[in-house]
Structure 1
Amino acid sequence: MSLSTLPSHTSEQVRVLAPVLDVVVPVHNEEIDLEPCVRRLHDHLRAEFPYRFRITIADNASTDSTPDVAARLAEVLPDVTSVRLPEKGRGRALKHVWTHSDAAVLAYMDVDLSTDLGALLPLVAPLISGHSDLAIGSRLARGSRVVRGVKREVISRTYNLILRGTLSARFSDAQCGFKAIRAEVAERLLPLVEDTGWFFDTEMLVLAERAGLRIHEVPVDWVDDPDSRVDIVATALADLRGIARLTRALGSGRLPVAALREQLGRNPLPVAGVPAGLTGQLLRFAAVGVASTLAYLLLYALLRTGAGPQAANLVALLVTAVANTAANRRLTFRVRGNGGAWRHQAQGLVVFAIGLGLTSGSLALLHLASTPPTIVELAVLVLANLVATGVRFLLMRSWVFRTTTRTKQA
């Protein structure tokens, strides 16, 4: 959303008075660090940020004098407000403030200001211009400069590796307390984010990626706060539970990611003569096909030692056909949930029958001519499978998963 394309339902007066940027500082028992943090942030924004801004102190269930400090700062500093929440949780605080803010771009940063404020304008500029949908500060991106202990470095890198392995995350740093999001994206995305604690950031970013949103990463200068009160063990366990919950939700299709992608996702650039999504589907189908072919040949070689060529081909092709349909359903055509799974498998078996006819026919013709060794049989089967693979892709795209393909092109 550029500054010239704010939602049409807002009045001209609101457009003028509403800030472009709302920076949230979530706090819990930060009576010492809060005032110097907010004053430094306020001075920086007044000197360096060219648009209207607001700083919102989001206190979540502090038991010390943090609420009093926040209220005093809101009184003496222009463009500073404070919000008090009765329950603890950084994610809860961010979700509450962001969903009630009238700013075009919503951001947050940790109260310790570990991230250099010079990265704030580069963080939000792509969101203001409309180039990107979310932005994150990254301590692991090339060009970042980080000062922290070995323990935190190992934990951070391990966590991001786990995200890549379990949720196929492509962003480099989920935990850096320096992020921003466009308001209309937050309006659609945040209702799907369930976590109210430290996993909030990760869940939001994973859902954003699955919805096809563009995430801008900014390398940051970051200095570890030695007085950090984050319980590393408890946070790590909560994050692992969050990963497991989110993996189940995405795998079962409970989260309406496809609908979110239709509403907010960036469609692929059109290429003349190439249907939308075809290139990516071909690459994913090829990867699944290579794995299926290797599994098929291994099974055929094992079964061939105790059975005839036709029986070995039938069993090997049947087993790998079921696995191939399931893999293509999930990976190539991105179908989530169990809806239509049995129909897809039934149609996949029809495709399997066509592949069986091609491979069995090739074997029959080969044995009519001679009694070849197993290596020749395998070579002929590889060629027959290549032809069958092309036919399989065309039938899956145009018949088995036709509805899914058309929905993504629309």
Structure 2
Amino acid sequence: MRTDTPRGTLPAREHLLAEAAGPPVLDVVVPVYNEEADLERCVLRLHDHLTRTFPYGFRITVADNASTDRTPRVAAALAARLPEVRSHRLEQKGRGRALRTVWSASDAPVLAYMDVDLSTDLNALLPLVAPLISGHSDLAIGSRLARASRVVRGPKREFISRTYNLILRGSLAARFSDAQCGFKAIRGDVAERLLPMVEDTGWFFDTELLVLAERAGLRIHEVPVDWVDDPHSSVHLVRTATDDLKGVWRVGRALAVGALPLDRLARPFGDDPRDRRLPGVPRGLARQLVGFCAVGVLSTLLYLLLWTAFRTGLGPQAANAAALLLSAVANTAANRRLTFGVRGRDRAVRHQAQGLVVFGIGLALTSGSLAALDAAAGNPSHSTELAVLIAANLAATVLRFLLFRAWVFPERRHEPAAPPAGDPARRTADDPALPADGPVLPAGDPSPPVAAAAGRTPVSPPAARTAAVPGAPAARTTDETTNRGLAR
């Protein structure tokens, strides 16, 4: 897996403001391969729609995937005819490769793509990108499987689509509803960090992008769409499905061993309202309890199965020790990743060593319970031994959670990166302009950076600047402009 993504956490999401000069807010990429018949008609339709309905500057980029027909000449003619259209030629096929190449080189703060057949109703485009412009979400996808969606397609494609998404939910624990709809958008700063981690260059690119974003805790917005199947689609279903299943296996294995530095995609602490502390309520306690209980139930079942399997050949004490050791290793690994959110291999050996100490305490508790039962009952029945072990394991589970939380995986203070000297985002408790209800940092302690990544459109507080939208009054603010566009 590729891990050469820029280091450091993402900046806080801010409302994007339009500029009179500078890059457009939205860059819509249309990947194509041998589409000489439909390209001009579809690009003109998309351009007309954006001109009439989109309140910000935009760009349409035709990404040609090594076409062998007249597609490159049609794209070049469109770019020469329309100032908002650009053409980019790639000598290798692959939708994922085209999107990564164009998105990585784009200077627009919001990046989107759609299929050239425009199967998705374009009225969903503004709702798709609005949460990214406002700073609410990191990615946005069109969903053909949402209840409010209206879809026209054959039963074979419907079955394949729903089966594939069920596989994603079962194998990768994906919570988004539609991975393969060709109608998606992403913020530029997120793409800069996320794209280097995405390995696929074909149709699985979408799925891999979404799974990694979701596992990193980024917010994915879903938009119900109206979608009409293209009966002349050139997608090879069997080959695509096979490649997708291979991608599911590859990504699942990388996530299981912690091979991806997803912590570099985290938003700064405090950007999410769930990060805010409440007096007397430990942060994340409820979520950790739920995760620990789920892992505990599974590991207890694993322990009982192992103990039952070992009981006949090893005796009760040896069977208990062996079963508890194996289940404890699995329990520590699962709690490390799922309950306490520790990713990667850093300190993994130390955590397992500490987990074995906790295992020793549990072993002493359960073995002592068995020894006490044997001394009291002489030759207890199998069911009695099982009941005592369950009770002892419940007590050991409570103790294990307390030790895990306080000793093995203690809460780590988030250290936001310092902004450059003179950055207006550097605000302290001595700053009189800081809102009374906002987060106050000690004097000299830098706040998370709010400027966009280098080379991208700077982001300013909404009250500090006005949006320069063609045709709009100079005093019109961004929120007013956005509302005007949404009201159309």
**How does the TM-score come out when normalised to structure 1?**
0.89
C-alpha displacement of 1:300: 4.2
2:117 counterpart of 1:109:
no
Q: Give the whole-Å Cα distance in 2 for the aligned partners of 1:357 and 1:265.
A: 42
Q: Deviations over 1:185-212 (max 9, x none)?
A: 1111112212222111111111111111
Which residue number in structure 2 is paired with residue 383 of structure 1? 391
C-alpha displacement of 1:99: 1.6
C-alpha displacement of 1:215: 0.3
Which residue number in structure 2 is paired with residue 203 of structure 1? 208
Is contact 2:261–2:343 with CA below 8 Å preserved after alignment? Answer: no
Could you say if the C-alpha distance between residues 348 and 45 of structure 1 is closer, same or farther in structure 2, counting changes exceeding 3 Å? same
DSSP-derived class of the 2:21 partner: helix
Which residue number in structure 1 is paired with residue 260 of structure 2? 255
Q: Deviations over 1:19-77 (max 9, x none)?
A: 11111111111111011101111111111111111111111211111111112112222
C-alpha displacement of 1:182: 0.8
Which residue number in structure 1 is paired with residue 362 of structure 2? 355
Q: Give the whole-Å Cα distance in 1 for the aligned partners of 2:235 and 2:270.
A: 34
DSSP-derived class of the 2:223 partner: strand
- 1:11-410 aligned at under 5 Å gives the runs 16-261=21-266, 267=272, 268-272=274-278, 273-301=280-308, 309-371=316-378, 373-402=381-410, 405-406=411-412
Is contact 2:215–2:262 with CA below 8 Å preserved after alignment? Answer: yes
Q: Give the whole-Å Cα distance in 2 for the aligned partners of 1:326 and 1:345.
A: 7
C-alpha displacement of 1:349: 2.1
Is contact 1:25–1:110 with CA below 8 Å preserved after alignment? Answer: yes
Which residue number in structure 1 is paired with residue 456 of structure 2? none
Structure having the higher helix fraction is 1
Q: Deviations over 1:100-147 (max 9, x none)?
A: 222221111111000001111110111110000000001111111111
Greater shift in the superposed pair: 384-393 or 355-364: 355-364
- Give structure 1 stretches of 5+ with no counterpart: 7-13
- Give structure 2 stretches of 5+ with no counterpart: 1-12, 417-488
Could you say if the C-alpha distance between residues 145 and 369 of structure 1 is closer, same or farther in structure 2, counting changes exceeding 3 Å? same
Is contact 2:16–2:135 with CA below 8 Å preserved after alignment? Answer: no
Equivalent residue pairs, number: 401
Question: What is the one-letter code of the residue matched to 1:361?
Answer: G
Identity of aligned pairs, percent?
70
Q: Give the whole-Å Cα distance in 2 for the aligned partners of 1:193 and 1:346.
A: 33
Q: Give the whole-Å Cα distance in 1 for the aligned partners of 2:415 and 2:387.
A: 38
Question: What is the one-letter code of the residue matched to 1:324?
Answer: N
C-alpha displacement of 1:338: 4.7
Q: Deviations over 1:354-386 (max 9, x none)?
A: 112222333444444444544444333322222
Q: Give the whole-Å Cα distance in 2 for the aligned partners of 1:243 and 1:31.
A: 33
Question: What is the one-letter code of the residue matched to 2:108?
Answer: A
Is contact 2:26–2:59 with CA below 8 Å preserved after alignment? Answer: yes
Structure 1 vs Structure 2 CA RMSD: 2.6
C-alpha displacement of 1:311: 4.2
Q: Give the whole-Å Cα distance in 2 for the aligned partners of 1:313 and 1:113.
A: 62
Question: What is the one-letter code of the residue matched to 1:270?
Answer: R
Q: Deviations over 1:270-327 (max 9, x none)?
A: 2423333332222121112112223333444565567665444334333332332233
C-alpha displacement of 1:263: 6.2
Q: Deviations over 1:316-350 (max 9, x none)?
A: 33333233223323432344455544433332221
C-alpha displacement of 1:174: 0.8
Q: Give the whole-Å Cα distance in 2 for the aligned partners of 1:153 and 1:207.
A: 25
Could you say if the C-alpha distance between residues 315 and 170 of structure 1 is closer, same or farther in structure 2, counting changes exceeding 3 Å? same
Is contact 2:260–2:344 with CA below 8 Å preserved after alignment? Answer: no
Q: Give the whole-Å Cα distance in 1 for the aligned partners of 2:384 and 2:335.
A: 29
Question: What is the one-letter code of the residue matched to 1:355?
Answer: G
**How does the TM-score come out when normalised to structure 2?**
0.76
C-alpha displacement of 1:2: 4.1
Q: Give the whole-Å Cα distance in 1 for the aligned partners of 2:224 and 2:90.
A: 32
Could you say if the C-alpha distance between residues 334 and 70 of structure 1 is closer, same or farther in structure 2, counting changes exceeding 3 Å? same
DSSP-derived class of the 2:266 partner: helix
Q: Give the whole-Å Cα distance in 1 for the aligned partners of 2:213 and 2:339.
A: 20
DSSP-derived class of the 1:179 partner: strand
